[in-house]
Structure 1
Amino acid sequence: MAVDTATAFWTLAPGHGELRDEPLPAPGEGEVRVKARFGAVSRGTEALVFQGRVPESEWQRMRAPFQAGDFPWPVKYGYVSVGVVEAGPDELLGREVFCLYPHQDRYVVPAAAVTPLPAGLPAARAVLAANMETAINGCWDAEPRVGDRIAVIGAGVVGALVAWLCAAIPGTRVCLVDVSPARAELALALGVEFRLADRAPADNDLVIHASGNPEGLRQALTLAGDEARVVEMSWYGDREASLPLGEAFHSRRLRLIGSQVGRLPAERMPRWDHRRRLALALDLLRDPCLDALISGESDFHELPVLMPRLAAGAGEVLCHRLRYASPD
């Protein structure tokens, strides 16, 4: 079947997007054409992009790998696509792959831009790959150690994944902290302790903040023990976050560390690159317990109506999966 058009989701103004048809070129030498099967929406970065809250100073740094258009809009943005290679090199033909591509039903990219899914990883769960990469990078920056008492504030997808990864280290006592009692069920599914924010344990060796709310970061400072590390994984876009650094922050010698998935930690760079990190993320996603992070699913064509609700953070949304047409 000849395919010469694709359908993509574009943000046209704050809080408003639509589906657009656009030309789909034939794959050239060293390229693949992918038919999307599943995608997902990031309620962190993507929500800020959709709401027009990317500050001008970050317009270049925040570009997605295959973004079209420029901030603030119109822009085709996103970085979660799982699909099937329907044209390209023989070794990739018919393989299920992950690609950091915006919301689009078919697309052509260099073969090096897709990563085949490992055996045992369902395509429907692979939409968590970008979140897992963020969690891995956060753990590298946080440097959790054997026996550490660790609090992770924010039981969204990234925070839950960080807690799950830290809990696998022998001797650690990991507590996932959130303001929503409903997140207790998620923590139970992942095998980690849960506490509401007003009952969070103090005197931790390590506190990781991933709630996206400045109040959570302020609490992180109160939960850290003397000489402890506090890792900030949230990004606030054009919002400011004020911190009580004039109180006991200095006398307790706390360390506040920023973590961002776009850059590997310096000590990893001689041996790791983004492709190796992504392969690790996909391999870790083979654990079926991580299906608990998928809180819903919708058809891709519903995205113009769905996206405003997801960006607003309504309900108990974790990872909302997008479903494309089944492969031919």
Structure 2
Amino acid sequence: TETLVFRGEVPVSQHEIMRAPFQEGDFPGPVKYGYLNVGIVEKGPAALIGRTVFCLYPHQTAYVVPADAVVVIPDDVPPGRAALAGTVETAVNALWDAAPLVGDRITVVGAGMVGCCVAGVLARFPGASVEIVDSNPDREAVASVLGVQFALPAEAAKGRDLVFHASASSAGLQLSMELLAAEGTVIELSWYGDREVSLQLGGLFHSGRLKIRSSQVGTVSPARSATRSFADRLALALELLRDPVFDALITGESVFDQLPDVLAEMTAGTNSALCHLITYSGE
């Protein structure tokens, strides 16, 4: 999402909907944008002083927010891993939307940050056969740590009950459809910005009664919205992050002053990081 914002690819129709909670400025820019921030409380309620917290705030060395805008991170979740909280929350919401069943054959297409978080949560699902598919063979090592199978696109298993798509590409969505068994469902997690998507729907799509469903973290899944709040969902994500396997998603870090260069590299595709942390040492 941040690279789409950096490239100015937020559709005009989504300028208000895609505002981050503490965004400053307006799309297409300049904007202060971001929502995965971990820090230490310096001033505020006594119960929060010195605590490490998660906040939906842009990249910034210090900031002031309402006390109820921060969530205390469990003591056994390191700050770097806690930066994944919003992305694991996206995975939680996707599983609520998808409602997988015991023993399902499940594929995740796209081993980026979102796809890997989905796979990491699915790896715990009883009896499920989980495979993650990506064109980058280096992602196999991450899949191994997460406890799921890995395949290149040409080798991906077919006949899947459920496919989560997170590659943000037409080719990835097309592959997701082709991997499904009859009556199967693709859960679409990608956000394409203003890019067009093209699909070939003349094959099994109609005869096989295939389905494509969107999943978006901006609202709690309808399957749980009556009984779970945003705070409940985030708390569950932080609970899941007690598992150290998620450290495999942290593939680099840079200091705050290097952030403009890092975003340019990621936008150009020269930095293939999963979760690239921005640190504030010495601030």
Q: TM-score range by the shorter chain?
A: over 0.9
Return the alpha-carbon distance in structure 2 between the equivalents of residues 189 and 124 of structure 1: 17
Return the alpha-carbon distance in structure 2 between the equivalents of residues 58 and 276 of structure 1: 26
Matched, 1:124 2:70: no
| Secondary structure, counterpart of 1:229 in structure 2 | strand
How many residues end up aligned between the 2 structures?
A: 283
Q: Scaled by the length of structure 2, what TM-score is found? A: 0.98
| Secondary structure, counterpart of 2:83 in structure 1 | helix
Mapping of 1:139-288 within 5 angstroms? 139-288=95-244
Match of 2:266 among 282, 288, 310: 310
| Secondary structure, counterpart of 1:227 in structure 2 | strand
Residue type at the aligned position of 2:155: R
Residue type at the aligned position of 2:64: V
Residue type at the aligned position of 1:127: A
Could you report, residue by residue, the CA deviation over 1:80-130 in whole angstroms, capped at 9, with x for unpaired residues? 110011000111111110000001100000000000001211112111111
Aligned to 1:22: none
Return the alpha-carbon distance in structure 2 between the equivalents of residues 135 and 314 of structure 1: 26
Matched, 1:50 2:6: yes
Aligned to 1:35: none
| Secondary structure, counterpart of 1:124 in structure 2 | helix
Select the structure of larger CA radius of gyration: 1
For residue 326 of structure 1, report the CA deviation from its aligned partner.
Answer: 5.1
Return the alpha-carbon distance in structure 2 between the equivalents of residues 199 and 217 of structure 1: 16
- Contact kept? 2:123, 2:146, Cα under 8 Å: no
Aligned to 2:41: 85
| Secondary structure, counterpart of 1:87 in structure 2 | coil
- Contact kept? 2:81, 2:241, Cα under 8 Å: yes
Residue type at the aligned position of 2:118: V
Q: Scaled by the length of structure 1, what TM-score is found? A: 0.84
Aligned to 1:136: 92
- Contact kept? 1:232, 1:258, Cα under 8 Å: yes
Aligned to 1:25: none
Q: Which runs of 5+ in 1 are unaligned?
A: 1-44
Could you report, residue by residue, the CA deviation over 1:182-212 in whole angstroms, capped at 9, with x for unpaired residues? 1111101111110111000000011111111
Aligned to 1:10: none
Residue type at the aligned position of 2:164: I
Structure with greater strand percent = 1
Q: Which runs of 5+ in 2 are unaligned?
A: none
- Contact kept? 1:47, 1:312, Cα under 8 Å: no
Q: Percent identity?
A: 53
Residue type at the aligned position of 1:274: F
